[in-house]
Structure 1
Amino acid sequence: MNNFSYFSKALDEVVDARLDDYVETLEVDKRYEFSEKYNKKINKLIKHREKPYFTLICTTGRRVACCVAALLILSFSSLSVKAVREAVCNFFMNIFSDHTEIIADSEIVNSYPHSIDEEYHISSLPNGFKQVDYDKMENSIIITYFKDDDYIFFEQYTKDAYLSNYDNEQSTFESYTDENGQEYLVHNTDHDHTFIWDNGKYIFEICSNLDKRSVLELCESTKIK
């Protein structure tokens, strides 16, 4: 047996042992939940309906489970490599095959507050809308309004805390500049519109199923409390 054979055998033994140890740590029927931010939005509409991301069942075929895990890791890795980055309205759009990630321009992040010391709100809320949820943290504020089946989600973030993901299926992005020169990144679907903008200090999002013009008016009415 040559040196390569000894090395190959030793490597197999180490890998087998590590794989066995890893599989022992896998939980049966473990459910993966969506992010907190996603749940805050969607759970208001579907009454905290829970969706499993996927269910991984560990059976006697340990090696099969490990192969599946490895393939999943490789798949996600290949997606990240293929991401296309575009700069729009002081944001970077990392475009993947199935979703788009929006983040603030990293070159300006450190020049602005890392906590919210000025709270903003929608100063001209449409008649009939009532606040049903308010969640404030050190670097974010999320407020939810409802009127029957209509909804408005208002969000304020520090630049370093902002990150949003959007499904690429049946949706579009566009940029828009209002009469005051404020630039917006707009995400459109067949059921709502999301306006994202940077006012020079914080990042804001307003998502609503009202018509696009009405959502823009909400953005333009956003002021310090």
Structure 2
Amino acid sequence: MNNFSYFSKALDEVVDARLDDYVETLEVDKRYEFSEKYNKKINKLIKHREKPYFTLICTTGRRVACFVTALLILSFSSLSVKAVREAVCNFFMNIFSDHTEIIADSEIENSYPHSIDEEYHISSLPNGFKQVDYDKMENSIIITYFKDDDYIFFEQYTKDAYLSNYDNEQSTFESYTDENGQEYLVHNTDHDHTFIWDNGKYIFEICSNLDKRSVLELCESTKIK
């Protein structure tokens, strides 16, 4: 075993020990059972990892492992750290120190669907984009489009199934109302924009690295198939 191997082994042992110590300090009720929404979100992330285009987002196994570990830490931390809650555009934003959780205000309308009974799509897809993935479940649809390095993620959810988490670092949230009166919650980073909106029946997300105006036009073109 060479010096680098000894160093790598020692480093792994230190990291594992520090992580174990940190987890033990979290105020987690071991009897806690994760909600159905949470489990569905985790299953969606796992399914995304299995897709061929996932390597464009997470290029190494170590980055994937770090992402999953970070997600678990955020989930455990959210059980013991009180969030600041804000209501914006028919959504509740639970703002923590390092991430923001967004859920739909499903109480504003009692007649919303609990399954995908009407399927929507982007009716004005920019030239050159090709659909590379389609994933439909009882209460969600996720469609992925690519054109070279440009991407579009289209998602449709029932209100009671919607739950998203966003990193607070190097990103911003804003609200926007278009000419038709449709309100959007917009998440901006230095590489893409995500528009989130409620059309009265379903929750939609469109995330893309196109310019903001182009992403808005995608949202405005969304309609029933």
TM-score > 0.5 by shorter chain = yes
What secondary structure is seen at the aligned counterpart in 2 of 1:203? strand
8 Å CA contact 2:85, 2:93 repeated in 1: yes
1:9 Cα shift?
Answer: 39
What is the number of equivalent residue pairs in this alignment? 225
Runs of 4+ that moved beyond 3 A = 1-81
1:83 Cα shift?
Answer: 0.4
1:81 Cα shift?
Answer: 3.5
8 Å CA contact 1:34, 1:53 repeated in 2: no
Contiguous gaps of at least 5 residues in structure 2? none
Q: Determine the C-alpha separation between the residues in 1 that align with 2:13 and 2:121.
A: 61
1:107 Cα shift?
Answer: 1.4
RMSD: 12.5
- For normalisation by structure 2, the TM-score amounts to 0.68
Q: Structure 2 vs 1, CA of residues 8 and 203 (structure 1 numbering), >3 Å: closer, same or farther? A: closer
- For normalisation by structure 1, the TM-score amounts to 0.68
Q: Structure 2 vs 1, CA of residues 29 and 115 (structure 1 numbering), >3 Å: closer, same or farther? A: closer
Q: Determine the C-alpha separation between the residues in 1 that align with 2:150 and 2:54.
A: 31
Larger RCO (CA under 8 A, 6+ residues apart):
2
1:159 Cα shift?
Answer: 0.2
Q: Structure 2 vs 1, CA of residues 112 and 67 (structure 1 numbering), >3 Å: closer, same or farther? A: closer
Q: Structure 2 vs 1, CA of residues 203 and 117 (structure 1 numbering), >3 Å: closer, same or farther? A: same
Identify the range of structure 1 (73-82 vs 124-133) with the bigger mean alpha-carbon deviation. Answer: 73-82
* Bigger radius of gyration: 1
Q: Structure 2 vs 1, CA of residues 191 and 75 (structure 1 numbering), >3 Å: closer, same or farther? A: closer
Q: Render the CA deviation track for 1:149-168: whole Å, top value 9, x for unaligned.
A: 00000000000000000000
Q: Determine the C-alpha separation between the residues in 2 that align with 1:221 and 1:66.
A: 36
- Could you tell me the percent identity over the aligned residues? 99
Q: Render the CA deviation track for 1:8-57: whole Å, top value 9, x for unaligned.
A: 99999999999999999999999999999999999999998799999999
8 Å CA contact 1:43, 1:49 repeated in 2: no
Contiguous gaps of at least 5 residues in structure 1? none
Identify the range of structure 1 (36-45 vs 16-25) with the bigger mean alpha-carbon deviation. Answer: 16-25
Q: Render the CA deviation track for 1:39-80: whole Å, top value 9, x for unaligned.
A: 999999999879999999999999999999999999945774
Report the equivalent of 1:181. 181
